[in-house]
Amino acid sequence: MVGEGLYVNMTNRCSNRCDFCIRNNGDGAYGSESLWLVREPTREEILESIFSHELEKIPELVFCGYGEPSYRLDDAVFIAKAVKERYPNIEIRINTNGQSDLILGRDTAPEYAGAFDAVSISLNSPTPEKYQQICHSVFGEESFGSILNFAKNVKNYVQKTCFSVVKETLTEEEIELCKKISCECEVPLRIRDYIPPET
Ligand code: SF4
């Protein structure tokens, strides 16, 4: 649990190695125990764990790191739809680095429809060069354009799609450029604080 939300950690895998990632300096966040998975739980195990909570009292379910959840997009969609079926009022969000098209090698945006109420995409930077400099994607500078494309596509399927940036990693000028990208893509921008690691 983080605040009032229930967070689902499905994988350690990630296509990035961001300088500010909580994985760099510790293995927890928000006072949690270690988030590093010894093995990836099956979708059935994840569902069992989710349903062990009093979901009628939980307003939000969030698919997020430790790793990049879209590595297991099929499973995340399956789980989200199963939860929605039993608890239609719970808000379901996925936090992603926006690289699912590159990770899975297909146009993934339509798959988010009907599973997630919100998609939060880490923009992290106003340019491909800076993105690569701080996020070190295995896909190189190509990743940045793919993230923007994904955002523009997925907002057609999930109304609450937004970009996020970490305030401490960018200059004011860079944040202004990110706002411009957000306007051009017609995807709102959330400027968030850095999450310190648990050591
Ligand atoms: S995309 Fe997220 S999980 Fe992956 S390295 Fe960056 S901050 Fe960490």
Residue 67 CB less than 6 A away from ligand 1: yes
- Order of strands across the sheet that contains 60-64: 5-9, 60-64, 91-96, 118-122, 160-166, 189-192
Of all protein residues, the one whose alpha carbon is nearest to atom 8 of ligand 1 is: 21
Residue 23 CB less than 6 A away from ligand 1: yes
Of all protein residues, the one whose alpha carbon is nearest to atom 7 of ligand 1 is: 21
Residue 18 CB less than 6 A away from ligand 1: yes
Q: Is 84 buried (19+), middle (13-18) or exposed (0-12) by CB count in 10 A? A: middle
Going from the Cα of 137 to the center of ligand 1, the distance in angstroms, rounded, reads 9
Residue with tokens 């709102």: 188
Query: In a structure prediction context, what are the per-residue pLDDT tens digits for the chain, which is 199 residues long?
Result: 666 789 999 999 999 999 888 777 655 555 555 667 888 999 999 999 999 999 999 999 999 978 999 999 999 999 999 999 999 999 999 999 999 999 999 999 999 999 999 999 999 999 999 999 999 999 999 999 999 999 999 999 999 999 999 888 889 999 999 999 999 999 999 998 876 554 4
User: How many residues are present in the chain?
Assistant: 199
Q: Is 28 buried (19+), middle (13-18) or exposed (0-12) by CB count in 10 A? A: middle
Strands (E), 52-133: 60-64, 91-96, 118-122
Tokens read off for 182:
């957000």
Going from the Cα of 144 to the center of ligand 1, the distance in angstroms, rounded, reads 14
**Alpha carbon 92 to chain centroid, angstroms:** 12
Going from the Cα of 103 to the center of ligand 1, the distance in angstroms, rounded, reads 14
- Give the separation between CA 113 and CA 77, rounded to whole angstroms: 9
